[in-house]
């Protein structure tokens, strides 16, 4: 095949090349968080990021989102270098940052404000998103009145509001009970199938990563490097998938990769 991305091989939706990130806190030592990350995510691909706590998963999402300066290496989205946040990318933060002084509805409406829609359409869309994430009846509640799972669902609705092509999700289902989590996973897969979205999904749950993603990227203990990229395409319509030997083996294979890094991370932080 000819190089340079011919018509048969479209440019990747997200192209990360040689990205290194150093935090420089005003006090204390510099932290090398990411070291030479290169990764390409195809249009409409669903990629999961796994790795031990502190390996730089959130940092990588912030960089793709344009919230942190890219000092070394490059990140391009749809062929254009990332220079800041943009409407093409939606993000849910690990602590599901909602505006505490706004209700559920107002938090979601915020995501719709910059679209220039007539107010009536905004209200309709906000309600559709509220229904989608199952928050009917809580429209007028404030974040402090919500459970962790409900805050998370509000954050997901707000992320979806402006219909970004790219969803950057930082441990979005971590705070949910098993039942809600499974419903939200199905909902996310449904959104991903129905609309042309590219997803980068951070989780610490290996089974969730293998179930949702088409490829799982395992990062090493800090500084985060790409340790392994594993194909994880399964037939999610198969009701017996989670118990099938192929699926269980894949979870086991990736679990071992992650575990080795978690042990390395623990050693590094031991006194």
Ligand X SMILES: Nc1ncnc2c1ncn2[C@@H]1O[C@H](COP(=O)(O)OP(=O)(O)O)[C@@H](O)[C@H]1O
**Which window, 53-61, 121-129, 144-152, 229-237, contacts ligand X (CB under 6 A)?**
53-61
Query: Which member of 13, 58, 103, 152 binds ligand X (CB under 6 A)?
Result: 58
Q: How far apart are CA 76 and CA 202, in angstroms?
A: 19
92 binds ligand X (CB under 6 A): no
Q: How far apart are CA 215 and CA 228, in angstroms?
A: 10
Is residue 204 classed as helix, strand or coil in its secondary structure?
coil
Where in 214-253 is the site for ligand X (CB under 6 A)? 222
Q: Is 33 or 146 the residue whose CB approaches ligand X more closely?
A: 33
Query: Which member of 38, 53, 83, 244 binds ligand X (CB under 6 A)?
Result: 53
Please choose, from the candidates 49, 51, 16, the residue with its C-alpha nearest in 3D space to the C-alpha of residue 215. Answer: 49
Q: Is 58 or 103 the residue whose CB approaches Mg ion more closely?
A: 58
Give the shortest CB-227-to-ligand X separation in angstroms: 13
- Beta bridge partner(s), residue 48: 201, 216
56 binds ligand X (CB under 6 A): yes
33 binds ligand X (CB under 6 A): yes
Please choose, from the candidates 179, 131, 171, the residue with its C-alpha nearest in 3D space to the C-alpha of residue 152. Answer: 171
Contact residues toward Mg ion (CB under 5 A) are 57-58, 94
31 binds ligand X (CB under 6 A): yes
59 binds ligand X (CB under 6 A): yes
Is residue 64 classed as helix, strand or coil in its secondary structure?
helix
**Residue 88 near residue 168, CB atoms below 8 Å:** no
The alpha carbon of residue 58 and the mean position of all alpha carbons in its chain are separated, in whole angstroms, by 9
Chain residues that interact with ligand X, rule: CB under 6 A: 23, 25, 31, 33, 51, 53-59, 222
């Amino acid at each position: 095949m000819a190089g340079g991305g011919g018509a048969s091989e479209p440019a990747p939706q997200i192209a990360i090349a040689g990205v290194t990130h150093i935090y420089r806190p005003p006090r204390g030592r510099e932290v090398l968080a990411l070291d030479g990350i290169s990764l390409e995510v195809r249009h409409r691909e669903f990629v999961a990021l796994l790795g031990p706590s502190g390996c730089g998963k959130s940092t990588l999402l912030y960089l793709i989102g344009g919230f942190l300066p890219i000092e070394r290496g490059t990140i391009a989205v749809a062929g254009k270098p990332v220079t800041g946040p943009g409407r093409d990318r939606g993000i849910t933060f690990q602590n599901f940052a909602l505006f505490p002084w706004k209700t559920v509805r107002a938090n979601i409406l915020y995501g719709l404000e910059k679209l220039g829609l007539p107010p009536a359409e905004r209200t309709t869309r906000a309600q559709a998103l509220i229904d989608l994430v199952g928050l009917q009846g809580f429209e007028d509640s404030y974040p402090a009145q919500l459970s962790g799972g409900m805050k998370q669902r509000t954050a997901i609705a707000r992320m979806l509001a402006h219909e970004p092509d790219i969803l950057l999700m930082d441990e979005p289902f971590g705070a949910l009970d098993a039942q809600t989590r499974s419903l939200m996973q199905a909902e996310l897969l449904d959104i991903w199938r129905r609309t042309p979205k590219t997803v980068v999904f951070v989780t610490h749950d290996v089974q969730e990563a293998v179930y949702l993603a088409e490829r799982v990227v395992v990062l090493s203990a800090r500084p985060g490097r790409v340790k392994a990229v594993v194909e994880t395409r399964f037939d999610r319509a198969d009701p017996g998938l989670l118990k099938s030997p192929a699926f269980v083996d894949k979870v086991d294979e990736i679990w071992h990769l992650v575990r080795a890094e978690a042990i390395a991370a623990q050693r590094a932080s031991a006194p």
